[in-house]
Amino acid sequence: MANDKDRIDLGFNNASFVGNYGFSIIFGANRQVGIGVAQSDGKGNFHAIQKFNVGTGKLIYQTIRGTYRVYPDGTGDAQVDLYMEGQPPLKGGFAYVVLTAVQRGNVKVAIELQGMDMTPATDLTTGQPLQPLQLGVSWFKQIP
C-alpha cells in the first residue's frame, strides 16, 4: 500500500462514499455471484443487504455491516461482516477505486466504484476458503 506522502490528491475523502448504491460481486471459476443494495453514511460506515447465488442456483440472503476509508486519490478499503441466519458472521476486506464521481458542493461524490477482495472468498456452506482460491470483484453504482 502506498504511503500517504506517495498518494495523488484528487480531492476524495470518506464523505465521497455517501448515499445509496446498487452493487454486484462475482467470484471467479465457482460462478458465485451476489447482488444487493448498500447505504453509506459518508463518515466511514455502511450497511447492505445481498442475495447471493452459491453456484447451485440456491440464493442466500445476507446482511452486511462495514467500515471504510476513502483516500484522497480515490482508492480505499473496507472491512465487512457478513451475517446469515444461524451462522456466525464472516469477516472480509475489500480494496476499491472510484471510477466516476461528481462534484456536489464541496464534496466529490463517488457515483461508480470497482473493488476486489483482499482475502480469499469463503464457501458459505463450510466457512472454508473456496477451492481453487477465488477473489471477488465488485461493482457499485450510486442509485439516484
The residues of the chain scoring below 70 in pLDDT are: 1-5, 28-30, 123-125
Angstrom distances, CA of residue 7 to CA of 10, 94, 100: 9, 19, 18
Task: Tell me the sheet residues that pair with 65.
Answer: 47, 81
Q: Which of 43, 27, 129, 72 is nearest to 35 (CA)?
A: 27
The reported pLDDT for the residue numbered 55 is 74
For the chain, domains (ranges, CATH) are: 4-142 (2.40.128.120)
